[in-house]
Structure 1
Amino acid sequence: MFRQLLDSGAQALTLYIDGHAVKAQPGDTVAAVMLRQDSPVTRTTPVLGNPRAPYCMMGVCFECLAIVDGVASTQTCMLPVREGMQVERQHGKRSIV
């Protein structure tokens, strides 16, 4: 659905989504990278487990929450990618542990 416009001079970064290596460009947000995946789902709702994906892309709706580098409920639309970043889809409510 979404295609990346490549910058020929940019050095690609590698981040990991649910343990799978994914390429990204500097300046991409984690949410933008997730929208380019086969499954753009970033989380499931706490009560019914319904899938959610990035929506507003400006930090208002909180649909893009995921676990990033071990921190749950991170707004992925506001977070630029970094080399080696670990992203996990968040299932259900946030764990306190």
Structure 2
Amino acid sequence: MSEQQEMEAEEDEGGTSDTAPMLPQRRSADYRIPVLVCPGWPILTTEGLRTLLLPGRALVVFLCHLLLPGTVFLLVLLPAAAIVYLGFLCHSRVSIG
């Protein structure tokens, strides 16, 4: 049998040939919605939010850099300093007057 006859026989049987694509094909650019059809406000909104993203990230990083030392100070250094100060007040032998 020739290749043409084999392909016709496969088509009659309902099978697929070895050269048939197994994955669906991508749509061509004709199916995309042009940007000019969409209203302009969603595009402007996303651009505005993207503009605020960088300063927002910088602010978050800055606050995180302040939060860690502040937490260490409040939980460790401030109580230790208070204990040392109260110890000096209680055990000092200086009398006034």
> Which of the pair is proportionally richer in helix?
2
Q: Same fold (TM over 0.5)?
A: no
- Larger RCO of the pair (alpha carbons < 8 Å, separation 6+): 1
Structure possessing the higher radius of gyration over alpha carbons: 2
> Which of the pair is proportionally richer in strand?
1
Q: TM-score, normalised by structure 2?
A: 0.16
